Structure 1
Amino acid sequence: MKHENANRVFLLNRDGNPLMPCRPRKARLLLKSGKAFVVKKYPFTIQLKYGSYGYKQKVSLGVDTGQRHIGFAVVSQEKVLCQSEVELRQDVHANLYTRKIYRRSKRNRKTRYRQARFLNRVHGKRDGLWLPPSIKGKVSHNIAWIKRYLAVLPNPDLHIEVGKFDMAKMLNPQISGKQYQEGSLKDWKNYEYYVLARDEYTCQLCHKHGEGVKLVVHHIVYRSQGGTNRVDNLITLCTDCHTTKNHQPGGKLYKWMKAKKKVTKQLKGATFMNILRKRIMTAFPEASFQYGSQTYVDRKNLLLPKGHFMDAIAISGVKSVGQMPETVTMISQFRKKKRSLHEATARKGRKQPNKAAKRNAKNTKYARGIWLNDYVRIIGNNAKGYVQGFKSNGYFVYLADGLGNYVLNNGKNYINRKQCRLIMHNGNWQKAEQKLSLYEFK
């Protein structure tokens, strides 16, 4: 198999119609000579200033959808022209939960301008299309990124992998008939009653039971670590065992969590893929769809290792791979601006006694001519990176590459602002070219 140095660059003609992707060298020459200009950063696309209709070949776009990563591969005549991987944010649910706690505490205080309400009404639920905001964001990103690639390719054949899971059968392979309608909590008021009765009202750590023993229901895998309210993740403990010390590293409950986390079945991914499948099929009815079982066979036949963009190559319908880039474009989302007016925990801590305490600069988006997530170059060693944050005085910035690694300067992870030169202002996305030899295949 032959290897190219880098991924191709997407190209549009003067009228904005897609042409075949060109090599990076040709793109640099067109930009340097003034014959083209940049129109998109993600994916990187240039547009010609002169008329050209070009010779167009048959192009296929393979997409490996997912809730954490989305794999893309552009294939033409057994050549992989471009391969990339988009990483989605996983902190949205936690941020929404934190916001809910802040709002509830605010409504409980004596504030005459905001009445206390706990029965929130969501009108969109009635049409059957409503989704929780955290899930809706991921679904929207899957659809939006597919549209981004379709907009810069000349009439591509679209191939998408979707997932369909029977979650009840994943937990109980013998389930059938009306058992689908009879969950583990059938005939029980809630999961607490069920768990206490299942464990015979006995602490499962010290085995205390009887009168005078106060029992609680404990999450084996903590909620903060991704645990859910499923009954197989719940267990009965007494208050003497359910302590802060046992929850901390080295404690008995912490050891339980580490052991359980290796074997527990998480159904969050399966749930999301079932939701995504319906909406993807509605958004792209012209696409060719297949399931992961077929992708596994196709990838093995192509002798490709496991990776999201490798799956996308197999999904694209190619029968053999004669050439592919030596790098993969890694794209990730960066939380650039927060809407919060304050933070419960100050980023820098309090600098003065409480009697004269002043708010520190939190949620800093801009300092001395540089914005968060700006792409800059260090004068002298030519290293490049994205601005991740600022020190308290704003004279020093933290830089990181698109893979999350700090850009070091003289052994320090922060750099004087005067040593940085702006390359471009950036939105909420970052990218980096990673060599296949350094990619962590599964």
Structure 2
Amino acid sequence: MQNRVLVLDKNRQPLMPCHPARARELLREGKAAVFRRFPFTVILKHREGGDKQELTEKLDPGSKTTGMVLVALFARRGPTAIWAAELEHRGAAIRKSLEQRCGHRRHRRGNLRYREPRFDNRTRPEGWLPPSLQHRVDTTLTWVARCCRWAPVTRLSQELVKFDLQAMQNPEISGTEYQQGTLFGYEVKEYLLEKWGRTCVYCDAENMPLEVDHIHPKGNGGTDRVSNLAVACRDCNQEKSQQPLDLFLKTGKGRRRRMQANAKAFAGKDAKKIARRKIHEETRLQRIRSQAKAPLKDAAAVNSTRWALYTALQQTELPVETGSGGRTKWNRSQQRYPKAHWIDAACAGTSGATVRLNPNHRPMQIGAKGHGERQRARLDKNGFPVGHKTVTKFSWGFQTGDMVMAVVPNGKFAGTHLGRVAIRARPSFALSTAAFEKPFDVHPKYMTILHRSDGYVYN
């Protein structure tokens, strides 16, 4: 259930990843040394070159998380996933920061002084993407390059498109085979599950099989457009049948089930919360109608970056395989694998139809944190400076973002902790670990560096 250990020869050329037990044996016998902690990589002291199998790096790009997996083509076992990771992007944080900076700038220009308008001569280069979207492409390419540097990757595979929006809006479009076959249904349903949060839109049921339902019944003139489709449990779908949406929400069993669930959930609670819940139920009709026409932001983000990523992967001069999200889900369901980002990456493209993996495999979790900020002044809510940050980047040999091991001898946090450190001007650094929700203070004399800051946090 563990990732294979990446291996380099004495000239730092990548070899085939080995089993963790074999890596421990090499380290114990002194034949190898630790080259990198995250991902764990060893370098051989005397060996040069070696036999290599075909190794494919497969990607499942997402708006929030990108799945990555290395699939080796073994002679006896066939395609097998030997290393997996899930990369969490920080596009939402970048967008929030840019919006805050824009608000501060707008406030200062509108309330302090008048400035003559300037001629807008700022032009965007061809292929320009917003910073929050460009970040997704850049971080994914960074890890593609790292995997190619530490493993003998011979091919690349990418899920080129999450949802084919054009095909879903016009199913009769010709020229693509899957739009008329089974994969078209997978493309549409996966989109609807993501859009409606994988819950029944009529009774909020979840963790159960959901079916595609026409909001405006097809027998009454409804169309097959995605804006007229939703997901519902079997009971609600069968009961609604040809009823109009407003009539079903007032008289259907789904309403009674929701009211019974609300009565149990709000038993013994004050009347204000119950009243707010009733108002929420009354607005369900408006919410369904408005959300039905709203596009899925995550799908738009993925579709905006797919070709930029594909073009960059082609520049690596390695063969690049592509596949749609419908093909990925088809491969995963046929092999009865659970849904996960790294499993979707392994099942991407036609090569994912027969891939061997352990569903209990523990992928490495990678979180993008950035390399700090250039802003030196702390701002108030109106964008005016209220203080300045220290210019010190290193303190006691540490810098913010280092992965450290802290052995605290006594106190509330006594014990051994692994986490990410944030330096301060005083010798009391903040340590963030997975075991505690909030960072806690640790003196740097109790810390040992495991991995230097590279803009990511690992688990």
Fold in common (TM above 0.5): yes
8 A Cα contact 1:107 1:117, kept in partner: no
Q: Distance in 1 between matches of 2:144 and 2:66?
A: 9
1:407 to partner: Cα distance: 7.0
Matched residue, 1:179: none
8 A Cα contact 2:68 2:86, kept in partner: yes
Q: Distance in 1 between matches of 2:371 and 2:6?
A: 26
Q: Cα distance 1:26–1:94, how it changes in 2: closer, same or farther (>3 A)?
A: same
Check if 1:287 corresponds to 2:314: no
1:291 to partner: Cα distance: 0.4
Deviations 1:76-108 (A, max 9, x none): 234321111100102101111222233344455
SS at match of 1:123: coil
Q: Which one of the candidate residues 316, 339, 344 is aligned to 1:306?
A: 339
8 A Cα contact 2:16 2:52, kept in partner: yes
Matched residue, 2:122: 122
8 A Cα contact 2:347 2:355, kept in partner: no
Check if 1:270 corresponds to 2:299: yes
Deviations 1:28-85 (A, max 9, x none): 4545665444555554433333232222122222211122111111122343211111
Matched residue, 1:426: 453
SS at match of 1:103: helix
8 A Cα contact 2:337 2:359, kept in partner: no
Matched residue, 2:145: 147
8 A Cα contact 1:389 1:399, kept in partner: no
Check if 1:71 corresponds to 2:67: yes
Structure (1/2) with the larger helix percentage: 2
Equivalenced residue count is 333
Q: Cα distance 1:165–1:377, how it changes in 2: closer, same or farther (>3 A)?
A: closer
Matched residue, 1:86: 87
Matched residue, 2:203: none
Matched residue, 1:27: 23
1:358 to partner: Cα distance: 7.8
SS at match of 2:84: strand
Q: Distance in 1 between matches of 2:428 and 2:61?
A: 41
Check if 1:54 corresponds to 2:54: no
Deviations 1:351-404 (A, max 9, x none): xxxxxx9837579866555432222223152221112576x9552523223xxx
Q: Aligned partner of 1:400: which letter? A: T
8 A Cα contact 1:161 1:290, kept in partner: yes
Matched residue, 2:133: 135
Q: Which one of the candidate residues 413, 424, 431 is aligned to 1:398?
A: 431
Q: Cα distance 1:428–1:260, how it changes in 2: closer, same or farther (>3 A)?
A: farther
Q: Distance in 1 between matches of 2:304 and 2:45?
A: 43
Q: Distance in 1 between matches of 2:458 and 2:145?
A: 18
TM-score by length of 2: 0.61
Q: Aligned partner of 2:372: which letter? A: K
Q: Aligned partner of 1:23: which letter? A: H
Matched residue, 2:103: 101
Q: Distance in 2 between matches of 1:130 and 1:99?
A: 20
1:309 to partner: Cα distance: 0.4
Q: Aligned partner of 1:133: which letter? A: P
Q: Distance in 2 between matches of 1:34 and 1:407?
A: 39
SS at match of 1:290: strand
Q: Cα distance 1:108–1:358, how it changes in 2: closer, same or farther (>3 A)?
A: closer
Check if 1:416 corresponds to 2:451: no
1:131 to partner: Cα distance: 1.7
TM-score by length of 1: 0.63
Moved more, 377-386 or 24-33: 24-33
1:297 to partner: Cα distance: 1.0
Q: Distance in 2 between matches of 1:256 and 1:327?
A: 42
Q: Which one of the candidate residues 387, 396, 406 is aligned to 1:378?
A: 406
Q: Cα distance 1:164–1:313, how it changes in 2: closer, same or farther (>3 A)?
A: closer
Q: Aligned partner of 2:97: which letter? A: N
Q: Cα distance 1:41–1:121, how it changes in 2: closer, same or farther (>3 A)?
A: farther
Pairs within 5 Å for 1:160-171: 160-163=158-161, 165=163, 167=165
Check if 1:359 corresponds to 2:387: yes
Deviations 1:203-243 (A, max 9, x none): xxxxxxxxxxxxxxxxxxxxxxxxxxxxxxxxxxxxxxxxx
Q: Distance in 1 between matches of 2:24 and 2:116?
A: 59
Q: Cα distance 1:325–1:82, how it changes in 2: closer, same or farther (>3 A)?
A: farther
Q: Aligned partner of 1:135: which letter? A: L
Q: Distance in 1 between matches of 2:339 and 2:163?
A: 21
